[in-house]
Structure 1
Amino acid sequence: MELFRVVGEGGARVFSVDVPGGVGCEGGVRADVTAMVGVGKWEVLVPAWRERAGELRVVPIGFPPEVVREEAEGWWLEPGDVGGLVGRVRAASHKGERGRVGVWAGSRGLAGAALLSARAAARTPAGLVYLCCDEEVYGLLGGLGGGVVVRPGDEGVRVDAAVVGPGWGRGEERVGQLAAILGRCGRGVIDADGLEALARLRDGEGRLDLGGRWVLTPHPGECARLAGCTVEEVLDAPGRVCGELARGLGAVVVLKAHTTWVVGPSGRVWVYDGMCAPLGTGGAGDVLAGVIGGLLAHGVGVEEAACAGVVAHGEAGRRLFARRGWFGAEDVVGEVGSILKDLGVDYG
């Protein structure tokens, strides 16, 4: 540890090989560049330690890509993965074929989250988006939907996937509403206030199995609440914590941190090295939930939709900052459709 201290206080740029010295320990080296030999090393993607690695570079030494995939504990998500995860849209398809999304969101004082999520879903290949909101905010939201169909309640709404929770509020009635949505919708995304309702529903029933059909999108605090641990444990051991949560609930867990971990109930892990500070803005998570929900409604697999949504969302943030500087969540909504196309989600 004394050597690490001397390196850190020396003032020179630090180049690390594979992982910075002392990763996982207090007082370890903080590198400017970390070159990983052959394959990426998972230690540098743990949120608690990611900043110590600086700029990441993988140095190829001839490992066949198919062998790397087979032997890896998980997979790094890259922009080039999105097209293969989602696929092309049939040129002759119409809105009724491309999927219907239902967004249960919005409450007094939190209506903006509902619009962000619904409008983001509308920027995916999904054909129809319904925003099902409370009567008390319908007067506000009803005229703002644009291409989104806004409904007071959900009577008569049939959807292929649901997004539940953005700005929904935490009243006790949400637990019963969530249970009803889970019963009528085959798959979807549970986010924000929906995660609190899910925790209460599970606590009340003792056990809950979502059948591998739902995506949960917690930030570290919400993940800790669901997993019954501390935020520090989530950031130190995301693979273990999210893996146990995914298996316990039968869901895909998307841990939203500066590195985003996607963990399926089978134990498969994908990580996106986001590190985009401007994307850490109010409402950005609501946008992500809408994007994943839109992809699910379009028929994309549950794990694939989660991974593709995470990458598209992150790359939209990076491109926005490069082009315009600091931005708000509504700007990310406007970028989603363009970034999906550029990453290979085309039609024809």
Structure 2
Amino acid sequence: MTRGTIVREITAETLRGLPLPDSGGGSKEARGSALVIAGSVEVPGAAILAGTAALRAGAGKLQMSIAAGTAPHAGLAVPEALVVRLPEGEGGHVDHGQAAEVLLPRTERAAAVLIGAGMSSGEPTRALTAALLEGPSEAPFVLDAASIDGLCEKAQAVRARAGRVVITPHAGEMARCLGCERDAVEADPLAAARKAADMLGAVVVMKGAETWIVDPAGGTWHYAGGGAGLATSGSGDVLAGIIVGLLARGTTPAEAAAWGVFLHGEAGRRLARSCGPIGFLARELPGEVPGLMRDVAEGAL
């Protein structure tokens, strides 16, 4: 069979063949610590959404890293988290040079790291992403939103992590990563995902009405979609948080991506049934995740 010719549909039955790591006998240490580096002065809620989702996916511990001025508010919103204050520069935004010094030791102690959700676009976030990728941590990374921009220009740093990176772009972010037009990505999202996975040696979650996942070896997964209601502010932050939580538990990158996409999509389906097809909030998605994981495992879904 040639590379990339088999597409696996992501269903509850598929995932029952890929069981999640056990609960570690009740030990939060065994379920790992997720480090969520996210948010900005304009979008502090991204860290809250992603961090909450990581815990709902079963991560044992959570650290949220956010600009110092918004950190106390994030800590109150997610009292389960240890909140790391990041140095601020102009306009209350994170000073990315100083932030790298604060974060590098924490990435070494984390079981999985998420960076980018709700962060400011531009060179500072790119530089911070590169610094952390090139650091000594062996943890898997999830790269979302602003951390994906220009990533293919730093492909060597991603490839050096030997498949331990998951990226979660929508069409616009993928176009900026590959240096092509958005229309080209939307015309053939699977081809774009395959190109990025090959260039970066990473697991690519190509988001859209349907989701395609491609791993560095060309393995391909497809999820038909969780409904129109998922196209709402903060939904992508939740997806990234679910994936990093699963990675913290010890799930492999490709399987964490597949499980994360399914749990996110099915959470949307459940809320569509209980609330209506559109109008539910991203903050409501994480609460559906524990029950979905149970239902998949028990064959109730």
TM-score (normalised: structure 1): 0.73
- How many residues align? The count is 274
Structure 1 residue 82 and structure 2 residue 33: aligned? no
Structure 1 residue 227 and structure 2 residue 145: aligned? no
| Mapped partners of 1:280, 1:226: distance in 2 | 21
Contact 2:10 2:258 (8 Å CA) reproduced: yes
Contact 1:142 1:151 (8 Å CA) reproduced: no
| Mapped partners of 1:136, 1:273: distance in 2 | 40
Contact 1:79 1:312 (8 Å CA) reproduced: no
| Mapped partners of 1:206, 1:266: distance in 2 | 16
| Mapped partners of 2:116, 2:252: distance in 1 | 21
Q: Residue 277 of structure 1 corresponds to which residue in structure 2? A: 228
Structure 1 residue 335 and structure 2 residue 288: aligned? yes
1:215 pairs with 154, 162, 166, which one? 166
Q: How large is the Cα RMSD of the aligned pairs?
A: 2.3
SS in 2 for 1:92: helix
| Mapped partners of 2:261, 2:253: distance in 1 | 12
User: Relative to structure 1, is the Cα distance of residues 230 and 321 closer, same or farther in structure 2, using a 3 angstrom cutoff?
Assistant: same
1:99 pairs with 29, 32, 48, which one? 32
Look at both structures and tell me which one has the larger radius of gyration over its CA atoms.
Answer: 1
Structure 1 residue 167: Cα displacement:
0.9
| Mapped partners of 1:81, 1:104: distance in 2 | 31
Amino acid at match of 2:10: L
Contact 2:140 2:164 (8 Å CA) reproduced: yes
Alignment deviations for residues 256-315 of structure 1 (CA, whole Å, 9 cap, x no partner): 101100011111110000050001111000000000001111110110000010011100
Q: Residue 175 of structure 1 corresponds to which residue in structure 2? A: 126
Structure 1 residue 179: Cα displacement:
2.1
Contact 2:247 2:253 (8 Å CA) reproduced: yes
Contact 1:79 1:315 (8 Å CA) reproduced: no
Q: Residue 246 of structure 2 corresponds to which residue in structure 1? A: 295
| Mapped partners of 1:306, 1:345: distance in 2 | 21
User: Relative to structure 1, is the Cα distance of residues 82 and 345 closer, same or farther in structure 2, using a 3 angstrom cutoff?
Assistant: farther
Contact 1:130 1:148 (8 Å CA) reproduced: yes
Q: Which runs of 5+ in 1 are unaligned?
A: 1-66
Q: Which runs of 5+ in 2 are unaligned?
A: 87-101
Q: Residue 123 of structure 1 corresponds to which residue in structure 2? A: 56
User: Relative to structure 1, is the Cα distance of residues 236 and 171 closer, same or farther in structure 2, using a 3 angstrom cutoff?
Assistant: closer
| Mapped partners of 1:275, 1:294: distance in 2 | 20
100-109 or 185-194: bigger deviation: 185-194
Q: Residue 143 of structure 2 corresponds to which residue in structure 1? A: 190
TM-score (normalised: structure 2): 0.84
Contact 1:217 1:255 (8 Å CA) reproduced: yes
Which has a greater percent of helix? 2
The percentage of aligned residue pairs carrying the same residue is 36
SS in 2 for 1:211: coil
Structure 1 residue 171: Cα displacement:
4.8
User: Relative to structure 1, is the Cα distance of residues 233 and 339 closer, same or farther in structure 2, using a 3 angstrom cutoff?
Assistant: same
Contact 2:226 2:266 (8 Å CA) reproduced: no
2:66 pairs with 123, 133, 142, which one? 133
- The 5 Å alignment of 1:1-348 reads 73-87=6-20, 89-90=22-23, 92-153=25-86, 154=102, 157=106, 158-182=109-133, 183-185=135-137, 186-196=139-149, 199=150, 202-203=152-153, 205=154, 207-208=156-157, 209=159, 210-274=161-225, 276-325=227-276, 326-344=279-297
| Mapped partners of 1:202, 1:218: distance in 2 | 13
254-263 or 334-343: bigger deviation: 334-343
